[in-house]
Structure 1
Amino acid sequence: MKGFRIPLFLFLTLSNTILSQTLVEPNQNFLWESFSFQFPEPVVVKMESTSQKKLTVYPAKRDGFFMVVRILPWGEPMPDKNLWVDSVFQKPINPKRSERSILGKTFQVFEADQIRNQNALRNQVWIRLNEKPYLWIWLQWKSDRKDLTAFFESNLFLSL
């Protein structure tokens, strides 16, 4: 009798599974792993099980932004933090890099404007590599949504 074999499509399905989807109301603390987030409007939060722990956030009622959060699997900090930035920013306009400290947690923040599909977009990539678990957050929102600009640029989404 030959060994049991799992078909490739079944293995891929099991290794990239959506664990849950949740509706989160505005200004409600949403806990994921050891992190707490808040959102400016009702959102759908999708948790996935992949090789990296991943959280994806979409607006529930109207278009305007999305957010992807990943816990990075490295045992040591990455020397080239620009690797993640380059994977997000395509033809960035006015790119900036800064360091922000929120409740004692330090993040490298990369920001840039972009034009995609005829939409003017703001992007931020937040990277925390100085403390485990290492964290990567990508925020993207439409530039004409000034309410979102004020919310995300004031760090209100992070209630660590």
Structure 2
Amino acid sequence: MAITFKGNPVTILGNQVNVGDKAPDFTVLANDLSEVTLADSKGKVRIISVVPSVDTGVCDEQTRRFNEEASKLDGVEILTISVDLPFAQKRWCAAAGVDKVSVLSDHRDLSFGKNYGIAIEELRLLARGVFVVDSSDTVTYVEYVPEVTNHPNYEAALEAAKAAK
């Protein structure tokens, strides 16, 4: 799949994940620098919202939108992953009032980005996307947003999460 950033093609590291795949594991960092893996939310439906940086407009809106939706989704855990430093994520979450989603950092080694085929080589950022993983760790929804500066399909991701329960 071709992904662009501001209209320019970028190189994506890793292999694309598809519906029906077993969700690849990953290790990212929480705001307190503790490690978080896929197994930490085992048995739950997860929406994994991927953004380049919470400090940009579309990423800010995407993270706030999923934070708002979180209270309407019983039994669904929402993870937002970017390569922002955990300290910056913590500061942003406090300023934005984001407290219902887990905002996690893939800065250390791009574990998530490479395992889900969404790391941009040229920029060392993650491309934009959304994944839904069911309680048995099967990927049930995948969206790699073709132009990184565009919004994902929020409604489709939310419906997929509801259907995965």
Q: TM-score normalized by structure 1?
A: 0.29
Answer 1 or 2: which has greater strand percent. 1
Answer 1 or 2: which has greater helix percent. 2
Q: TM-score normalized by structure 2?
A: 0.28
**Relative contact order: is structure 1 or structure 2 higher (C-alpha 8 Å, sep ≥ 6)?**
2
